[in-house]
Structure 1
Amino acid sequence: MRDVPKVVWLLAAGAFVNMVVSYTFIYLVLYLTGPRGLGVAQAGLIAGLGGAGLVAGNFTGGWFGDRYGHRRTLVTAAVTSGSGLIVLPGLPVAALLVVLPVAQYAAGAVRASNSALIALSVPAGARRQGYAVLRFAGNAGFTVGPPLGALIAAAFSYTWLFVADGLGTLCFAAYASWLLAAHGVGHRRKPAPAPESGSAPAARVWHELRARPAVLVLLGAIVVTDTVYRQQYSTLPVFLADHGFSTEFYGAMLAVNGGVILCLEIPATLALRKAAPLRIIAAGVTLVGLGYGALCLGAATATALALMVLLTAGEILYKTPATAYVADQTPDGMQGRFQSLYAGASTTGTVLAPPLGTALYTAAPAALWPLCATLALAAAATLLTTTRTPVPSPATP
């Protein structure tokens, strides 16, 4: 871990504090159907628009960083997101349809900027450790945040959830601005040269991706895997409830998942830091598939626990190495755009998983878990096939 620069640790500390108060999305539907008095369908529409904004921000936020500087982009996006959250409780319902997606878009851009800043701050060969530190901070904050949010909502009101989240995000913007300026990180970088005169920025990105087919395959595999992985937050609780398991049992499973990741992700990253990245990622995706395969054996305490153990191990193996691999394969001046592509791919499941999973579970409940297992295992097999093909140097051709 000595290869991880001080600025990364300090940025992760800020991300931890910001994540502690980033619980608004967890209680958004409860707030809309409770104090706001909206129907479930209306609340779902507003929450869905916010989720779409978040994914869009992840996909495109890094483009602003490559052009204007990642520090400026992160600070601007954090200010936008925090300001939107603070005013959101006082807005009419119609305004929520605009302000919430904008605030969530900015939140997605913050995540993409964070990833790009890690890539720029950490030398090649140590980026897995750098991303493990950032993920550790985010997971630790998320472990503390939801119960803290529940206490605030119970003791005060849901309005204070949005105010606390917004103020925390604004404080993170001020902290990150000072920190990155002090360490000279995140200023505008010279963009990568176009493959030919007159090419648009999107054409340049596509040119670089085609020169790195392994990255393209990885991004596709991550979209599939994330859609499967996030069934644990949408159809899994419904499945467990339908088979007599309590909400407390489901919550305990998620708590164990978070605790194990906090304890083991950094040690696992260090132990495997010299292993071939695509093989490690494929192994993690395989474990995700096997986890859902366990549910094919039936609904029981043992199969549910096997699912969570395998999902947790799979997440530890694939998420950090995948982020670092994309960073290591990125040409000069395009870290933001490549990290945005990965960040977008790795959050696509937040939009795709709930509607696709619940629709299939409603139409053919017995088919859902076999299909999830098959999709994840197919993604892993594709990645393993990619490891047997030559991978170009990350330098621009």
Structure 2
Amino acid sequence: MRALREVPRAVWLLACGTFVNMVVSVGFAFVFLYATGPRGLGAGAAGVLVGAGGAGLVAGNFTGGWYGDRFGHRRVLLCAAVVAGVLLAAVPVVPTPALYGVLPVAQYASGVQRAAQSALVAVIVPEGVRRQAFAVVRAAANGGFTVGPVLGALVATRFSYDWLYVGEGVGSVGLAWWTARVVPAGRGGMSRRGRSGRGEGVWDALRARPAVLVLLPAIVVIDIVYRQQYSTFPVFLADHGMDARVYGTLLAVNGGILLCLEVPVAVVLRKRSPLRVVGVGLVLVGAGYGVLLVGVGVGSAVVMMALLTLGEALYKTTATAYVADQAPEQVVGRFQSLYAGASISGVVLAAPLGGGLYAVAPGVVWPVCAGLGVGAGVVVLVVGGGFRPRRPYPFPPPGAAAPSTPPLLGAPPAGPRRS
């Protein structure tokens, strides 16, 4: 397929390394069991440890792009991956009290690595190909994480939880080694403006791109809504007589749809207005939770998960590429960091907000989720021009005349395109 052939070879190779790394990056998913099992912590103390690690991950995503703009995205990715790998591999020999410092720092480094990788893809891929490129990397990550938890559970039960962290540490260092080989040192560095410190600052750039300022809060809202499937949703299923086997099957539906559709969807819709695609995706996520208002059963749960996953396939890749396309050269990393942090904010916020509401008023959770999701999508659609005819995406090639009037909120800023 021609659209996929346009994705640079370095991105395909980076996706291969991401797949392998994600297969072994399951330690954090087992932290609670590890803390309450081999480490002998109580549920409350284990919850604090998990929360601290999640906060570190989100903080790393928010700040990784700042480092990349200053020191180079490739260099930051390599350093962060090595730091995370060394700390994770050392977990088995770290005293239990020290875990409260080691795991959050390791997760912070993992977050920096994630943001740096996203920015690295953005700078080595030309505009107009980024949707396909991000879809390829995301598909590799999703594929790896589909396999990883199954293997992780096998290793933990047959051998030891310790090996999960050793494996994840080795995988993180291995990703650094692989990235150093497949991405040349001259690529993924800071821009000339970044080196000199001159050029448009990140806040000035955001103010000049109000659509991005609207999109980022919408992504925070939808991530909190989307991640209810990992917290309140399984409790809801259990309360209605559906056990862990049903929940596991639903997660398999999620992974299967993503693996089959995410790349084709990105290719087919690559010339569509990005904010329209994102807006429809957010509406579908909200509509998925709305299905639970119709009735409770396996059928409605499957439809709900299918809508959530289709919405994810529409909005996540497209929004990532859109933010990259909107970023001036000197702040690509910071734009990607803002998006990366917003896109996983639910890791910290979803469970306490959703769980607290479910404990007080369980019947209110799904109407709220549906309303927030659909509302966020409608806002993005309005900002992107709604359903009014718009000029196709991608935008005119270099040399095209700049508009004489201010662009619509959903349109890119005037000026030369970056390659």
Match of 1:151 among 154, 157, 162: 154
> 2:184 maps to what in 1?
181
Q: Is the 8 A contact 2:199 2:330 kept in 1?
A: no
> 1:101 maps to what in 2?
104
TM-score, L = length of structure 2: 0.90
Question: Aligned ranges for residues 184-263 of structure 1 at < 5 Å?
Answer: 184-191=186-193, 194=198, 204-263=201-260
Question: Aligned ranges for residues 260-271 of structure 1 at < 5 Å?
Answer: 260-271=257-268
In structure 2, how many angstroms separate the alpha carbons of the residues matched to 1:280 and 1:33? 43
Match of 2:364 among 353, 363, 367: 367
Match of 1:113 among 106, 112, 116: 116
In structure 1, how many angstroms separate the alpha carbons of the residues matched to 2:8 and 2:413? 25
1:191 to partner: Cα distance: 3.2
Q: How many correspondences in the alignment?
A: 389
In structure 1, how many angstroms separate the alpha carbons of the residues matched to 2:59 and 2:285? 25
Q: Is the 8 A contact 1:227 1:352 kept in 2?
A: yes
Q: Is the 8 A contact 1:62 1:113 kept in 2?
A: yes
1:283 to partner: Cα distance: 0.4
Using the TM superposition, name which of 6-15 and 386-395 deviates more: 386-395
> 1:28 maps to what in 2?
31
1:187 to partner: Cα distance: 2.2
Q: Is the 8 A contact 1:23 1:145 kept in 2?
A: yes
Q: Secondary structure, in 3 states, of the residue corresponding to 2:190?
A: coil
1:252 to partner: Cα distance: 0.7
Q: Secondary structure, in 3 states, of the residue corresponding to 1:181?
A: coil
The residue type equivalent to 2:190 in the other structure is R
In structure 2, how many angstroms separate the alpha carbons of the residues matched to 1:237 and 1:304? 11
> 2:9 maps to what in 1?
6
In structure 2, how many angstroms separate the alpha carbons of the residues matched to 1:114 and 1:368? 35
Q: Is the 8 A contact 2:60 2:112 kept in 1?
A: yes
The residue type equivalent to 1:242 in the other structure is D
1:90 to partner: Cα distance: 1.5
1:394 to partner: Cα distance: 6.3
In structure 1, how many angstroms separate the alpha carbons of the residues matched to 2:172 and 2:146? 17
Q: Secondary structure, in 3 states, of the residue corresponding to 1:89?
A: helix
User: Structure 1 residue 335 and structure 2 residue 328: aligned?
Assistant: no
In structure 2, how many angstroms separate the alpha carbons of the residues matched to 1:394 and 1:158? 53
In structure 1, how many angstroms separate the alpha carbons of the residues matched to 2:361 and 2:60? 34
Q: Is the 8 A contact 1:224 1:375 kept in 2?
A: yes
User: Structure 1 residue 393 and structure 2 residue 413: aligned?
Assistant: yes
The residue type equivalent to 1:237 in the other structure is P
In structure 1, how many angstroms separate the alpha carbons of the residues matched to 2:22 and 2:320? 19
Q: Secondary structure, in 3 states, of the residue corresponding to 1:58?
A: helix
> 1:81 maps to what in 2?
84
How has the CA–CA distance of structure 1 residues 171 and 336 changed in structure 2, closer, same or farther, with 3 Å as cutoff?
same
> 2:280 maps to what in 1?
283
1:162 to partner: Cα distance: 0.6
In structure 2, how many angstroms separate the alpha carbons of the residues matched to 1:395 and 1:291? 39
How has the CA–CA distance of structure 1 residues 392 and 10 changed in structure 2, closer, same or farther, with 3 Å as cutoff?
closer
User: Structure 1 residue 380 and structure 2 residue 377: aligned?
Assistant: yes
RMSD value, Cα: 1.5
In structure 2, how many angstroms separate the alpha carbons of the residues matched to 1:326 and 1:17? 27
Deviations 1:79-120 (A, max 9, x none): 110011011122122211111111000101111111111111
In structure 2, how many angstroms separate the alpha carbons of the residues matched to 1:260 and 1:27? 25
The residue type equivalent to 1:211 in the other structure is A
Q: Secondary structure, in 3 states, of the residue corresponding to 1:333?
A: helix
The residue type equivalent to 1:187 in the other structure is G
In structure 2, how many angstroms separate the alpha carbons of the residues matched to 1:187 and 1:77? 15
In structure 2, how many angstroms separate the alpha carbons of the residues matched to 1:236 and 1:344? 23
The residue type equivalent to 1:324 in the other structure is A
Deviations 1:275-321 (A, max 9, x none): 11000000000000000001112321121111101001100111000
TM-score, L = length of structure 1: 0.95
Q: Is the 8 A contact 1:85 1:165 kept in 2?
A: yes
In structure 1, how many angstroms separate the alpha carbons of the residues matched to 2:283 and 2:198? 37
> 1:201 maps to what in 2?
none
In structure 2, how many angstroms separate the alpha carbons of the residues matched to 1:241 and 1:195? 55
Gaps of at least 5 residues in structure 2 are 386-407
Deviations 1:196-238 (A, max 9, x none): 8xxxxxxx21111000000111101000000000000010000
Q: Secondary structure, in 3 states, of the residue corresponding to 2:215?
A: helix
In structure 2, how many angstroms separate the alpha carbons of the residues matched to 1:292 and 1:101? 32
The residue type equivalent to 1:140 in the other structure is G
Q: Is the 8 A contact 1:330 1:395 kept in 2?
A: no
> 1:18 maps to what in 2?
21
The residue type equivalent to 1:34 in the other structure is G
Q: Is the 8 A contact 2:193 2:199 kept in 1?
A: no
Q: Is the 8 A contact 2:284 2:311 kept in 1?
A: yes
In structure 2, how many angstroms separate the alpha carbons of the residues matched to 1:186 and 1:345? 23
1:392 to partner: Cα distance: 4.3
Q: Is the 8 A contact 1:191 1:334 kept in 2?
A: no
